[in-house]
Amino acid sequence: MIFQTTLEEPVLCSGVGLHTGLPTRMTVRPAVPDTGIVFTRRDVEKKVRIRAHIDNVTDATLATTISQDGVKVSTVEHLMAAFAGVGVDNAEVELDAPEVPIMDGSSGPFHALLKNAGVRVQDRLKKFIIVKHPVTVTDGDRQATFLPSNDFKLSYTIDFRHPLISNQFYLIQISNGNFEREICRARTFGFLREYETLKSRGFARGGSLENAVVVGDSGVLNEDGLRFADEFVRHKILDSIGDLWLMGAQVIGHFIGYKSGHTLNHRLIRKLLSHEEWFDLREFSSEEEVRRLQINPPTH
């Protein structure tokens, strides 16, 4: 709980990029302490290591994109959420394309791969960001907030003008493996009426019923239907967990999203981290210290 972790062994997977439609092969390898999550593109001549950190986020249009020296990797949020869900702090990710494979549109396949690889505890203390001061960012009627809390919890509200989705709310404290049970299988979703427009703008070229929930005017088009009655809001929480893992440390606080997305999530993170008096960045020397301070880090 208080020490950094990495994988016991490498894992491999392949698929297509949701937005580029390009085939992608990806390898995730163990990494030494204090590495963080680092991406490398094998398909470019210039070998650039891109740390998955808020400082390297360069685009948030429909997905989170990180870049370094002109080299980018997009749609990292589902994989980042899986790292958070398993509790992996350090890993090297190698790809042969500019986008992380979308798999089935959720974090489920990534979570299973990482969990099956095994998690190794390392001999370096984990860093925690303890939220001390309320922080809010807004964009019209959209809002994202951090509140102080002694654990890591998220609450989220969506409100779509569609009778199938409408208003949904979900609250979860990440603990005791409930990311795996309640969040990681929730898939990305989109509306059929917007599909051609997105493709014309260079998005969703790899999208299909195999990797997204597609909503038509009269209902969900996927033959197997929804995995959860409120799968839509659960996926928004999944995305938010992936974005928060870009902070470079485990946040202890309450994230509240109201119709927010990647852009607003990133703004919230940057606002918090730009005010050092609003948070504590610390390590814990023992689990007794954690209990004494009444801090409840996520358990996986």
Residue 263's pLDDT is what? 97
The pLDDT score that the predictor gives to residue 197 is 84
Note the pTM of the prediction, 2 decimals. Answer: 0.96
The topology under which CATH files domain 3-125 is Ribosomal Protein S5; domain 2 (3.30.230)
Mean pLDDT, contiguous 10-residue spans, the chain (300 residues): 96 96 97 98 94 98 96 98 98 98 98 98 98 98 98 96 87 96 96 83 88 91 95 98 97 98 98 98 95 93
The answer to whether the 3-125 and 128-292 domains have the same CATH topology is: no
Q: What is the pLDDT of residue 122?
A: 98
Report the pLDDT value the prediction gives residue 108, as an integer from 0 to 100.
98
pLDDT at 162: 81
Judged by DSSP in three states, 26 sits in strand
Domain map (residue ranges) of the chain: 3-125, 128-292
Residues marked active site are found at 262
Under 8 Å between Cβ of 38 and 52: yes
- CATH homologous superfamily of 128-292 equals lpxc deacetylase, domain 2 (3.30.1700.10)
